[in-house]
Amino acid sequence: MRVVIANSGFRRLWIAQVILVLGDSCMRLGLLEYFQRAGLDVKIETAKILFAVALPATVFGPLAMVLLDRWQRRRVLMVADVLRATMVMTMVLWIIWGSASGRDGFGMWPVYVSLFWVGAITTFSYPARYALIPNLVETENLVKANTLFTTSLAIANGAGLPLGGLVAEKLGPGWALSCNAVAYMISIALVAGIRMQPHATQSKSEAGMRGELDKLRTGLGYMWRHPVIMPLAFMAAVFAFLLGVFIVAVVGYAKEVLNLGTAGMGYLATSVVVGAGIGIGLIGRGKPWTRSVWLPVGQLVTVGVLLVLLGHTTQVPAATALLTGVGTIAATVMIPIDAKLQAEVDDTRRGAVFAARGIMTSGAMLTAFWLQWGTAFFRVMPASRIMVLLGTGAIVASALTWAVLRGKGRATGLEAGARQ
């Protein structure tokens, strides 16, 4: 890890993202406090928040694929932070006005519109961030860099939630949201200080909608023909769906099957965090096996088996052990996927590929969120059965991905032999 932290450009990007996660955590708790003070249904409003933020990636993802690789990624991050800070301050002013006028919760549409645009801007900034890392870090250090990102952002998220709750309760929701705006300003200053050579960008010669559609088709064709990109992106989307359903299902499982209260759920959460630490420690060592394209397939199979076993478990100690294993996989499954994509994709197409991955994962998360509150199927089904279905789905998805990887690998080998 020392070698990547010693890189001043990466270090600035890393610190900026940690600060942004802290600010975002404060904002989320500030919104929850606002919903409570306004007498709104916190669970329903939280689902709406997640949906509002995730929806733009599906809507604007194709546009990000077309445009992102035309721009310098460092500049994209800075402009995105300016725009998101503006949206957050719009929500702050609305909340202050509602509190001052005694109309808390009246007309929530400005909040959700602002969150929608925050998500839209993030559709560009998120893939730009991951596409920028290979411009700052050597290829052999990508797993270490992504591990450091994953570890730090998880810790920052965990630290930011209680901090945001404290600020929101003691000072008010507006102050908690303002912390996020300040975080964006700090991030801009840090990213502005990154010194790097301009990276390669795509040509702007083609103009008009037809040209843009052709580029989009070309980018998708590039992903489809590549032996590993599309299967890995598909796997990331499957994991996103599983995670979206699991976050809600595990709460029902703790109550329905294990008969645990809030303190017991905290105990289970601790086991997941411990598992995450174990997994990150293993992946972070950067051994050759961590760069294998087959690692995510094995991870998905493992988490599938653990979820099936969890669905048949009624004892707290056994559930704790299984959730520790789930945490080990969940915290690390995206690290080898991101590192492999960063290493495999051409520099001029990297932003588009990560934008496409964002479209797929966001669509999967949207589906998971909607199923939790929009269908009777998931509302009625016991949480233990949901766990079994999730595990079975993970195993099936891993098998399909393995088959596609083998098929594409053989096709690539045949093409190479024919050219020789």
Domain boundaries, given as residue ranges, for the chain = 1-193, 226-420
Is 226-420 a CATH 3.90.870.40 domain?
no
397 or 262, higher pLDDT: 397
Q: What is the mean pLDDT of residues 343-351?
A: 71
When mean pLDDT is compared over 144-158, 274-288, 292-306, the highest value belongs to 292-306
Residue pair 123/99 in contact (Cβ under 8 Å)? The answer is no
Instruction: Tell me what the mean pLDDT of segment 333-341 comes to.
Output: 70
| Across 301-317, average pLDDT | 92
| Band of pLDDT at residue 419, cut at 50, 70 and 90 | very low
Measured distance CA(334)–CA(296) in Å, rounded: 8
Q: Do domains 1-193 and 226-420 have the same CATH topology?
A: yes
pTM of the model: 0.62
Is 298 or 43 the better-scoring residue by pLDDT?
298
Distance set, CA 85 to CA 178, 184, 188 (Å): 9, 6, 10
Q: How far apart are CA 180 and CA 154, in angstroms?
A: 17
Residues 136/17, Cβ–Cβ less than 8 Å: no
Q: What is the mean pLDDT of residues 185-192?
A: 92
- Topology annotation, domain 1-193: Growth Hormone; Chain: A; (1.20.1250)
What DSSP letter does each residue of 107-153 carry, written as one string?
--HHHHHHHHHHHHHHHHHHHHHHHHHHHHS-GGGHHHHHHHHHHHH
Longest dimension (CA), the chain: 76
SS3 332: coil
Higher pLDDT pick, 159 / 258? 258
Assess whether pLDDT exceeds 60 at residue 215. Answer: no
**Mean pLDDT along residues 79-95:** 90
Segment 356-377 shows an average pLDDT of 78
Determine the average pLDDT of the residues in 323-351.
75
Most confident of 19-23, 97-101, 140-144, 340-344: 19-23
pLDDT at site 289? 66
Residue in 119, 102, 152, 68 with CA at minimum distance from that of residue 349: 68
pLDDT > 90 fraction of the chain, expressed in percent and rounded: 13
Average pLDDT over residues 198-219: 56
